Structure 1
Amino acid sequence: MDIPGLPARRAALNLIDAVLRRGETMEQAASSALARVRGDADRALAKAIASEALRWRVDLDALIDGATRQRLPDDAKPRAVLEIMLAQALRLETPPHAAIATGLPLLTGGPRRLAHGVFSTLMKQGASLPAVPTLPEPVQERWGERVSAIAAGLALPPPLDLALRDPDTTSEWAERLGGVSLAPGHVRLSRGTPVEALPGFQEGAWWVQDLAASLPARLLGQGAGRRVLDLCAAPGGKTLQLAAAGWDVTAVDISKRRMERVASNLARTRLSANTVVADALDWRPEVEFDAILLDAPCTATGTCRRHPDVLHRIGPRQIAEMADLQARLIARASEWLSAGGKLIYAVCSLETAEGEEQARQVELSADPILVDEVPEGLCVRDGWLQTDPGQLSAQGGLDGFFIARWTRS
């Protein structure tokens, strides 16, 4: 007999396994892991369980280890099942009996009895999680003194940010949508409402884009018909911003599928850009550009509040690979600027090797970012803009980004 909710828990277990054992992103693993889960609600539940288990994994494991006589191996299935059971009970407000009913069937024999005993013991003891998740040791070592502030921004899943096609309508849309604005052209909403059901979606009045992700394009200002190159453009939020600001946009990305999404959003918002599917390391433009925005491929550790899998699958190898690619892309982009043209380099990463260390190697004239160019409460350091999930935490936080700007003399 089928147990209601069991497929969602099995899918959550598979998502976690894909992240921890194969190093996949949850997005990459979703198609296979969720194949047997019916209904949008159960699919969303599976993702929520896996995300919370990964977000709080260090603290969940501490509870498990404190309730077992002999430490379970890190890759033991009973540990993973206990993680998802505890994540439900302690983070998703699932009644303990429901967590047991849908968790224990994932195990058999002795492991099932062990998991039942550990979970029941913890519930009887009134187990709880700290106010802020503890990050894995390698992450703490890399992020150093910033780690406490960043961790504080991970305690809750992020709200929904919208970027408006017309910044002059900010107050109107904030009121209509029941949200708040932290900058012109931005509205922040609480999570939960399907995006397609919100007012303004069909008419293309806005698109989904984290406030931090909107900052690189904001730093280029109004285009007035000048040429801008959006490199590594997909999924297209910055392309839409630049087009809405009056730039003559050429958007380049290596992924045909992702560029089809960009084209779809351009059509929905009634904005225009020249889209090119190409590898930026091989492609060569026919003209120079007044501005280039390089939102480079990166480890995406700055998205950890919405993608907690990055806390567990990113390490020195991935960081070094991305840093090498970023350096080559910066060198290519620098060749295509017209005299006086501006280059914006951005990564949604919290890694020094992808941010400050890259910026120090650029052989263009620095064009420092100024405090009054960014929303209040953000950090401009050494002329570079750095955001992290701990900033604006009272308003819901934001993704971690490193952004720098130069001018070609």
Structure 2
Amino acid sequence: MDIPGLPARRAALNLIDAVLRRGETLDQAAGAALARVRGDADRALTRAIAGEVLRWKADLDALIDSATRQRLPDDAKPRAVLELMLAQVLRLETPAHAVIATGLPLLTGGPRRLAHGVFSTLMKREVSLPEVPTLPEPVAERWGDRAPAIAAGLAAPPQLDLALRDPAQTAEWAAKLGGVSLMPGHVRLPRGTAVEHLEGFRDGAWWVQDLAASLPARLLGSGEGRRVLDLCAAPGGKTLQLAAAGWDVTALDISKRRLERLKENLKRTGLFAHVVQADAFKWEPETPFDAILLDAPCTATGTARRHPDVLHRIGPCQIAEMAELQAAMIERAAGWLKPGGALVYAVCSLEPEEGEAQARPVALDPAPVASGDLPEGLSPTPEGWLRTDPGMLTEAGGLDGFFIARWRKAD
């Protein structure tokens, strides 16, 4: 019979292995890893342990190395188990005796004794983690001067952001839910909030959407019945925004599974969109659109606060592959615009190859982002683009990293 709590720790170990060895996302790995974990609380604990290990891995490894005469190999199981154990004590405030009881059974023989000795040594030293996580070296080099501020924004998982169906009710919903608002149509709540039990969920008064992720659709303004294409629409936050703003929305995505989630959200909120499952490189619209929102496939490094796996599995190859795809999608989308129509391009990536480098060659008229379009504390770049990262608005709880640009097609 399993020790209580052991399946969650074993699953966390499998999650981390899937990310580091196979390059899977935490979401991709979760199905198999969580199959034997019972109960929502233990499932949440599994994800929390894995997330904290990936967020603080460099610093956890530094502590482990400080307590061993001979450095453990990077892929040694005792190292992985020690990372799990230390993350629980130092980040999740799990009592050391509970960590030992659920961590050491993951090992046998000599490796178990080694892990016990290293963990006990570090506990006697009363070690702690730095205030800011140390980024993996390749990531820090890639992000350059921005790296320290971004790292500071990754120190803790994000709070819960809600986008409101009716922005005019912002103050009302902030008061009802006990949250704060950083701009109309937005409410922020403490992390750990059980979404399904909150007032307004069943009525479709709001949906979960990071503040930065809500900005691209906002830049298209009020629809007044005009036609907009939400390209790569699933899971649907931007589709809901556009429909709520009065646009006649066509929501296109290649994934049937993700579109099912979009349809569920449309039903819950009482909003409408024309949902199309198709490959954007094979599909053709019958008539041009008044506006197009291209939230392009990307490396998603801007979501590192909630998905710290991106710190370890994204590199130059993935960035180059995504950049090539994005350039092709921008060119294709631009051809579907009516004269005078607007195109908004967005990626939740911190990589300039996926943002600034994509925007420079676009052969449309710039429609610069204005400060008035943005939450207080954010400003457009000199080019009229928007670049956000997790190091911004930290006093208010931070936000994801995005690049957003807007253009109009000449009349």
Band the TM-score falls in, shorter-chain normalisation: over 0.9
For this pair of structures, how many residues does the alignment match? 409
Deviations for 1:166-224, whole angstroms, at most 9, x for unmatched residues?
A: 00000000000000000000000001221110000011100000000000000010001
Deviations for 1:109-133, whole angstroms, at most 9, x for unmatched residues?
A: 1111111111100000011000010
1:129 aligns with 129
The runs of at least 4 aligned residues of structure 1 exceeding 3 Å deviation read: none
2:212 aligns with 212
Deviations for 1:64-90, whole angstroms, at most 9, x for unmatched residues?
A: 111111111111111000000000000
Letter of the 1:399 partner, please give it.
Answer: D
1:306 aligns with 306
Check if 1:374 corresponds to 2:393: no
- Alpha-carbon distance in 2 for matches of 1:61, 1:227: 52
- Alpha-carbon distance in 2 for matches of 1:306, 1:125: 31
- Alpha-carbon distance in 1 for matches of 2:107, 2:171: 53
Letter of the 2:250 partner, please give it.
Answer: T
Contact kept? 2:390, 2:401, Cα under 8 Å? yes
2:239 aligns with 239
- Please, what is the CA RMSD of the aligned residues? 0.7
1:388 aligns with 389
Contact kept? 2:232, 2:294, Cα under 8 Å? yes
Contact kept? 1:234, 1:253, Cα under 8 Å? yes
1:276 aligns with 276
Q: Tell me, what secondary structure is at the counterpart of 1:344?
A: strand
Identity %: 77
2:221 aligns with 221
1:365 aligns with 365
Letter of the 2:307 partner, please give it.
Answer: H
2:195 aligns with 195
Deviations for 1:17-72, whole angstroms, at most 9, x for unmatched residues?
A: 00000000000000000111111110110100000000000000000111111111
Q: Tell me, what secondary structure is at the counterpart of 1:251?
A: strand
Letter of the 1:144 partner, please give it.
Answer: G
- Alpha-carbon distance in 1 for matches of 2:135, 2:389: 15
Deviations for 1:241-278, whole angstroms, at most 9, x for unmatched residues?
A: 00000001000000011111111111111111100000
Contact kept? 1:165, 1:185, Cα under 8 Å? yes
Letter of the 1:148 partner, please give it.
Answer: P
2:43 aligns with 43
- Alpha-carbon distance in 2 for matches of 1:308, 1:385: 23
**Aligned residue runs from structure 1 range 39-188, under 5 A:** 39-188=39-188
1:324 aligns with 324
- Alpha-carbon distance in 2 for matches of 1:231, 1:239: 9
The answer for unaligned runs of 5 or more in structure 1 is: none
Q: Tell me, what secondary structure is at the counterpart of 1:50?
A: helix
- Alpha-carbon distance in 1 for matches of 2:58, 2:377: 30
1:372 CA drift (Å): 1.9
2:32 aligns with 32
1:337 aligns with 337
Deviations for 1:297-328, whole angstroms, at most 9, x for unmatched residues?
A: 00000000000000000001110111111011
Q: Tell me, what secondary structure is at the counterpart of 2:144?
A: helix
Structure 1 length-normalised TM: 0.99
Contact kept? 2:160, 2:193, Cα under 8 Å? no
Contact kept? 1:368, 1:383, Cα under 8 Å? yes
- Alpha-carbon distance in 1 for matches of 2:311, 2:148: 14
1:379 CA drift (Å): 3.5
Q: Tell me, what secondary structure is at the counterpart of 2:380?
A: strand
Structure 2 length-normalised TM: 0.99
1:390 CA drift (Å): 1.0
- Alpha-carbon distance in 2 for matches of 1:378, 1:21: 37
Letter of the 1:321 partner, please give it.
Answer: E
1:2 CA drift (Å): 2.0
Contact kept? 1:379, 1:387, Cα under 8 Å? no
Contact kept? 1:165, 1:241, Cα under 8 Å? yes
Deviations for 1:121-150, whole angstroms, at most 9, x for unmatched residues?
A: 000001100001010000001101111111
Letter of the 1:96 partner, please give it.
Answer: A
Letter of the 1:80 partner, please give it.
Answer: A
Q: Tell me, what secondary structure is at the counterpart of 1:404?
A: strand
Contact kept? 1:240, 1:266, Cα under 8 Å? yes
